[in-house]
Structure 1
Amino acid sequence: MNYIAFFRGINVGSKNRIKMIDLRELFSCLGYQNVKTYIQSGNVIFESNKQESMIMVELAQAFTERFGFESKLVLRTAEELATILADFPFTAAEIQTVNDRLPAAEHVYFYLSNNEVDVSAVEKLAEEFIEEDKVFVGKREIYFLSAQSIRNSKLGTKLAKLDDSFTVRNRKTLNKISELLTS
């Protein structure tokens, strides 16, 4: 089965620096096949016949032993990623509106979790931080359309704190990973 591991907090600024070649080597040493990484933020595509729960435990332990720090990990199958992208809720017009106002920023993000998202908590935050940002809740992900830079979004910051397993990726990254899965 094809999986994608999304590590949180790798190579952000000067903290938790690791080379992707070392991360690929870790996966290969654990017996995972066809290991690929995408960009320097800890996105790993691989194949395994192991159960998801076993992969999570094995990777978390091996990662900490190898690199000397803990990084939260979110795991998705290729099918799950395809569903996330197929269920994309925002229209081209909505995206174009925010792009027209702030063309230099990335506006579409996915908050990925290992847990089911608490819909009521997201709705409460969205009401509290009414801006021009938009959210849509999936099963274990939140789709986020930021009217500004995500770094300047109060709602974006609060969403990340709802679940300590959340890791955030932009749409370009998930689309590229999807392409790599089929190549």
Structure 2
Amino acid sequence: MTTFVALLRAVNVGGTGKLPMQDLKRLCERQGFANVRTYIASGNVIFESGKRESAVKAALEAALREYAGKEVGVLVRTAEEMQQVLASNPFEKLESNRTVACFLDDPPPKDTLRTVTGAQDEEVRLGKREIYVYYGANMAHSKLKIPAAKAGTARNMNTIAKLVELAAS
């Protein structure tokens, strides 16, 4: 069995995509996932499965589509991949609550940094299947746009560290 972390896109954020975490847990259990745990209400779920990542993603997206009546994006990583995301943070010496990883299904396109607009004091770096962003003091008023991150979902480093911890336990 592999431990996975699934990150749902646009769930319980800004009044959109209402999904109680108890319902998410039940959906995962119905897919045959084991040891299912959720973390905070923004669509983070840790579980074990004998399926491959692509099958886990497809099963969870199908269950969420049936539940919500619309597409809900799901980004999936193994526990080891989540640990690597945390370890690869290029802004590790900066505030972790102002640093996010935008999770993607595939590696960021080569032109990602050239297509960024609205940057003020933010810093952007590319990862394996992530885009790291340090927002600094301007986080609440940022105008930063990263077209390559549009289909992804972001979590701050504090949340990622907690997910890594939970996935290891």
Q: Same fold (TM over 0.5)?
A: yes
* Equivalent in the alignment of 1:66: 67
Q: 1:147 aligns with which of 136, 153, 156?
A: 136
Most deviating of 59-68 and 2-11: 59-68
* Equivalent in the alignment of 2:123: 134
* Equivalent in the alignment of 1:102: none
The residue type paired with residue 106 of structure 2 is N
Asked if 1:118 corresponds to 2:115, the answer is no
Where in structure 2 are the equivalents of 1:30-179 lying within 5 Å? Answer: 30-92=31-93, 95=94, 106-125=97-116, 129-155=118-144, 158-159=145-146, 161-179=147-165
* Equivalent in the alignment of 1:14: 15
CA shift, 1:66, in A, is 1.7
| C-alpha separation in 2, matches of 1:84 and 1:65 | 31
| C-alpha separation in 2, matches of 1:130 and 1:9 | 23
More helix by percentage = 1
Contact 1:38 1:44 in 2 (8 A): yes
CA shift, 1:149, in A, is 4.2
Unaligned runs of 5+ in 1: 100-105
SS at match of 1:119: coil
Number of residue pairs matched?
168
Contact 1:107 1:149 in 2 (8 A): no
How big is the alpha-carbon RMSD for the aligned residues of Structure 1 and Structure 2?
1.8
| C-alpha separation in 2, matches of 1:169 and 1:30 | 25
CA shift, 1:132, in A, is 1.8
Asked if 1:29 corresponds to 2:15, the answer is no
Unaligned runs of 5+ in 2: none
SS at match of 2:137: coil
Contact 1:74 1:165 in 2 (8 A): no
Percent sequence identity over aligned pairs: 35
The residue type paired with residue 142 of structure 1 is I
The residue type paired with residue 52 of structure 1 is E
Give 1 or 2 for the bigger CA radius of gyration.
1
| C-alpha separation in 1, matches of 2:52 and 2:14 | 33
| C-alpha separation in 1, matches of 2:28 and 2:46 | 10
SS at match of 1:35: strand
SS at match of 1:136: strand
- Classify 1:149/1:24 alpha carbon distance in 2 versus 1 (closer, same or farther; 3 Å): farther
For 1:21-59, what per-residue CA distance to the aligned partner results, in whole angstroms no more than 9, with x for missing partners?
110001001100010000001001010111111112111
- Classify 1:14/1:132 alpha carbon distance in 2 versus 1 (closer, same or farther; 3 Å): closer
TM-score of the pair, normalised by structure 1: 0.84
